[in-house]
Amino acid sequence: MLKKIILTGFEPFGGSNANPSILACQSLVKKTIEGYEIEAIEIPLRFSEIKQIIESILIKEKPEIVICTGQSPRPVISLERIAINIASLEKVAYSCSAKPLDEILEINGREGYFSTLPIRKIKDCLEENKIPCEISNSAGTFGCNQIFYHLMHFINNNKINIPAGFIHVPSLPEQVIGKNFPSMTLELIIQSLEIAIITTIKHLL
């Protein structure tokens, strides 16, 4: 029986009709790697819905690996180290128009949770494949940090022993035309996620 890897990406937001995070995840659906089958789930960028959705995924799917992804304005693949217990926005808003300010995500939660993905090994493998990347020490205080935090909080509270974490991916070239922002091709983002998955599986063996 195949084991399961869950990838998540966010819906398009901010006026864009695409989000490279979910597009990259969806491109790997049903692919089998070392006995693991990949499933992808699109997450709405709605403040009040994210916690319930990620918890429901963990309960229903019982995956062996979870990698959540999201789009950032950074020029590289960012392997997030830590999720923090806060949501706070000033210049942007969720798709539902929610704009939390200094809001605690989990009243009884830790201040932060570390990724359990082998982020250093993933970084090394990405660099071996000439893919620009970094280990990031801040996932921000928007939807990406939120899903990362709720994911790790639920795993920790329920003593689920699986690798899980969050990866930020750059914008697509077509999203930044005329904006002078960094970008990365979808093909390279897909390759990056596949490397992250393979490295994580090897870490489990």
Residue range 96-126, pLDDT digits in tens: 889 999 999 999 999 999 999 999 999 999 9
Predicted pLDDT at 15:
82
Q: Which residues contact 27 (CB under 8 A, 6 or more apart)?
A: 186, 190
Residue 134 designated active-site: no
Render pLDDT for 146-174 as a digit per residue (tens, 0 to 9): 999 999 999 999 999 999 999 999 999 99
Q: What is the pTM (predicted TM-score) of this model?
A: 0.97
Selecting among 39, 64, 150, 168, the annotated active-site residue is: 168
Measure the CA–CA gap between 5 and 186, rounded to whole angstroms.
20
Task: Look up residue 150 and give its two tokens.
Answer: 């709720």
- Fold annotation for 3-204: Aminopeptidase (3.40.630)
Secondary structure (3-state) at 120? helix
Compute the distance between CA of residue 187 and CA of residue 89 in angstroms, rounded to an integer. Answer: 31
Q: What single letter denotes the amino acid at residue 114? A: F
Catalytic residue among 25, 125, 133, 144: 144
Task: Categorise residue 142: left if φ over 0, alpha if ψ from -120 to 50, beta otherwise.
Answer: beta
DSSP letter at 81 equals: -
Label residues 75-105 b or e (16+ Cβ within 10 Å = b).
ebbbbbbbbbbbbebeeebbbeebebeeeeb
The proportion of the chain whose per-residue pLDDT surpasses 90, expressed as a percent, equals 92
CA distance 54 to 57: 5
Our answer to whether residue 80 is catalytic in this structure is yes
Indicate whether 93 pLDDT > 90: no
Of the candidates 39, 64, 68, 80, the residue annotated as catalytic is 80
Concerning whether 168 is annotated as a catalytic residue, the answer is yes
